[in-house]
């Protein structure tokens, strides 16, 4: 029984490594990169700084106030929003397609494997409601995301910048298209290819990875680096041995444990809640968490940029240029029939609810529909190695074998105090413990 059990573990693990090394994000089906649904737009985007000045002069002020209010109780909105913008922009452009709910006959981006731990949807909706009260039907959800990112980065100690607005919201969101997001196990060359497909270059990629100066990654994204790097049975030799030792005590070894714990680990070991340059000095010291973080210090094409971005005078302006560029990928603007200003960020406008003139009241349902949890695990599945708990169920390989446990998109409650050490070493408790599967 015991040996059969071990065999299952090894089959699981072997499959996991195979997929991590070879595949892209997928819900159990190994696929090549899907065709880019929206190639990067040609020419300068039709967005501009101050787009809402005439139609909704307080728009940016309203966004800032809401973001500040939330930041006061939850510093993790900065990483949450940054990652939301990245995942939105890379799929169909920055059109808020990531905010749309799945509906019968259409599974949306939100429910794709790489997006299961995207958070702060509720914050965007809250901002939207405040804007709808002030100027109904004017400010798009896509613009709210870029504005909220801008404000939360500044609040976390990062650069302050003007950001162009005037995006429309997309009407389409497809789970499958999210497979074009780069996997954390991609080597530099392959990650760069994903960025190039979106009109971003090597410098954009290295400077945008600097967003990993805030936030966390679940152990499941890198535990092969701790316990069985490239099938060697040993840790990744490029990872600082002290970090390996520390994280090996925090992350369960998926190869030899029945634990289903998958704790989040700070991406930046020094100042995980501050938007600064310490990500770069940390990765130079071998303290990169994800493989891609460490690999940009080993690749001759990227190491120069890594050194350059240890200087705030270099990093901040370059980050601003690239985050604006990312927010301009494939934007829908003007009277583009593919876009609209959504009335609610999680659903496209229904025909009947579209404002058709000044006298026509805008129909808005009283309450947003509750977020749908992921399907529960099948009873009786072999419990090892467990997929990550809760929303962490996004490691491509294990999903092949087991459906995810119920997940919650509830925002984290515990505030993170800027610059203070985490409760456990290297570890921010940002999510309440999700219910166990079943």
Number of residues that bind ligand HEM (CB under 6 A): 23
208 lies in the binding site for ligand HEM (CB under 6 A): yes
CB 412, CB 119: distance < 8 Å: yes
Residue nearest to ligand HEM (CB): 215
Q: What's the closest the beta carbon of residue 369 comes to ligand HEM, in angstroms?
A: 24
CB 330, CB 93: distance < 8 Å: yes
Please identify which residue in 17, 142, 144, 214 interacts with ligand HEM, judged by CB under 6 A: 214
332 lies in the binding site for ligand HEM (CB under 6 A): no
Q: Which of 292, 74, 272 is nearest to 190 (CA)?
A: 292
Q: Which of 60, 211, 212 is nearest to 146 (CA)?
A: 60
CB 47, CB 164: distance < 8 Å: yes
Name the 3-class secondary structure at 62: helix
**DSSP letter, residue 424:** B
97 marked as binding residue: yes
CA geometry: angle 162, 166, 169, nearest 5 deg: 125
Please identify which residue in 23, 137, 164, 215 interacts with ligand HEM, judged by CB under 6 A: 215
Q: Which is nearer to ligand HEM, 152 or 377 (CB)?
A: 152
Site for ligand HEM in 351-410 (CB under 6 A): none
109 marked as binding residue: yes
Name the 3-class secondary structure at 375: coil
Please identify which residue in 184, 263, 404, 405 interacts with ligand HEM, judged by CB under 6 A: 184
How many angstroms separate the CA atoms of 197 and 179, rounded?
Answer: 13
Number of residues that make up the chain: 438
Per-residue mark of binding to ligand HEM, 255-294 (x: CB under 6 A): ------------x----------------------x-x--
Q: Calculate the alpha carbon distances from 324 to 146, 165, 219 in Å.
A: 8, 10, 30
Please identify which residue in 67, 82, 141, 407 interacts with ligand HEM, judged by CB under 6 A: 82
- 214: tokens are 């805030």
Greatest distance between any 2 Cα atoms in the chain? 73
Q: Which of 142, 311, 140, 293 is nearest to 216 (CA)?
A: 293
CB 225, CB 235: distance < 8 Å: yes
Helix (H) or strand (E) holding 3: helix 2-22
268 marked as binding residue: yes
How many angstroms separate the CA atoms of 395 and 398, rounded?
Answer: 6
How many angstroms separate the CA atoms of 79 and 102, rounded?
Answer: 24
Q: Which is nearer to ligand HEM, 27 or 341 (CB)?
A: 27
Sole window of 126-134, 207-215, 370-378, 401-409 interacting with ligand HEM (rule: CB under 6 A) = 207-215
Per-residue mark of binding to ligand HEM, 105-144 (x: CB under 6 A): ------------x-x-------------------------
Sole window of 40-48, 75-83, 98-106, 280-288 interacting with ligand HEM (rule: CB under 6 A) = 75-83
Helix intervals (H) in 165-209: 188-197, 202-209
Q: Which is nearer to ligand HEM, 137 or 220 (CB)?
A: 220
126 marked as binding residue: no
Nearby residues of 359 by Cβ (< 8 Å), 6 or more positions away = none
Annotated active-site residue 87? The verdict is: yes
335 marked as binding residue: no
Sole window of 42-50, 209-217, 378-386, 419-427 interacting with ligand HEM (rule: CB under 6 A) = 209-217
74 marked as binding residue: no
Other Cβ atoms within 10 Å of 421 Cβ, number: 11
Which residue among the candidates 75, 87, 395, 427 is catalytic per the annotation?
A: 87
191 lies in the binding site for ligand HEM (CB under 6 A): yes
**In a 10 Å sphere around its CB, with 0-12 CB exposed, 13-18 middle and 19+ buried, how is residue 44 labelled?**
exposed
Q: What's the closest the beta carbon of residue 132 comes to ligand HEM, in angstroms?
A: 27
Q: What's the closest the beta carbon of residue 336 comes to ligand HEM, in angstroms?
A: 25
**DSSP letter, residue 232:** S
- 375: tokens are 């399907």
122 marked as binding residue: no
Q: What's the closest the beta carbon of residue 200 comes to ligand HEM, in angstroms?
A: 9
Please identify which residue in 139, 147, 211, 239 interacts with ligand HEM, judged by CB under 6 A: 211
221 lies in the binding site for ligand HEM (CB under 6 A): yes
188 lies in the binding site for ligand HEM (CB under 6 A): no
Catalytic residues: 87
Q: Applying CB under 6 A, which residues contact ligand HEM?
A: 79-80, 82-83, 86, 117, 119, 182, 184, 191, 208-209, 211-212, 214-218, 221, 267, 290, 292
Known binding-site residue numbers for heme b: 212
- The binding site for Ca(2+) comprises 88, 91, 93, 95, 97, 109, 213, 268, 271, 276
């Amino acid at each position: 029984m015991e040996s059969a059990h071990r065999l299952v573990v090894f089959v699981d693990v072997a499959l996991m490594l195979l997929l991590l090394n070879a595949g892209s994000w997928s819900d159990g089906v190994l696929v090549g990169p899907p065709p880019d649904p929206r190639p990067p737009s040609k020419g300068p985007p039709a967005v501009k700084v101050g787009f809402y000045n005439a139609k909704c002069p307080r728009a940016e002020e309203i966004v800032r106030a809401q973001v500040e209010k939330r930041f006061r109780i939850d510093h993790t909105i900065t990483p949450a929003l940054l990652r939301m913008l990245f995942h939105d922009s890379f799929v169909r452009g920055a059109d808020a397609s990531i905010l749309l709910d799945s509906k019968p006959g259409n599974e949306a981006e939100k429910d794709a494997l790489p997006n299961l731990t995207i958070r702060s949807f509720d914050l965007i909706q809250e901002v939207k409601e405040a804007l709808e009260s002030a100027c109904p039907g004017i400010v798009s959800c896509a613009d709210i995301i870029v504005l909220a990112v801008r404000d939360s980065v500044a609040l976390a100690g990062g650069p302050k910048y003007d950001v162009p607005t005037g995006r429309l919201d997309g009407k389409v969101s497809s789970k499958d298209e999210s497979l074009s997001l780069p996997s954390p196990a991609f080597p530099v060359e392959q990650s760069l290819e994903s960025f190039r497909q979106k009109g971003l270059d090597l410098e954009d990629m290295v400077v945008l990875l600097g967003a990993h100066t805030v936030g966390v990654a679940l152990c499941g994204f890198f535990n092969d680096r701790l316990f069985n790097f490239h099938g060697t049975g040993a840790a990744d030799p490029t990872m600082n041995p002290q970090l390996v030792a520390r994280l090996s005590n925090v992350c369960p070894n998926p190869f030899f444990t029945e634990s289903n714990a998958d704790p989040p680990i700070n991406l930046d070991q020094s100042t995980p809640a501050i938007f600064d340059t310490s990500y770069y000095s940390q990765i130079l010291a071998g303290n990169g968490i994800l493989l891609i973080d460490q690999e940009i210090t080993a690749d001759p094409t990227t190491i120069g940029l890594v050194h350059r971005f240890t200087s705030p005078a270099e990093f901040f302006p370059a980050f601003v240029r690239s985050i604006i560029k990312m927010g301009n990928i494939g934007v829908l603007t003007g009277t583009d029939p593919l876009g609209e200003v959504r009335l609610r960020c999680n659903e496209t406008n229904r025909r009947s609810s579209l404002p058709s003139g000044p006298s026509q009241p805008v129909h808005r349902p009283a309450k947003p529909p509750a977020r749908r949890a992921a399907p529960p695990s099948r009873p009786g599945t072999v419990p090892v190695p467990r997929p990550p708990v809760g929303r962490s169920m996004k490691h491509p390989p294990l999903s092949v074998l087991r459906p995810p446990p119920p997940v919650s998109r509830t925002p984290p409650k515990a505030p993170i105090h800027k610059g203070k050490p985490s409760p456990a070493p290297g570890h921010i408790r940002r999510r309440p413990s999700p219910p166990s599967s079943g």
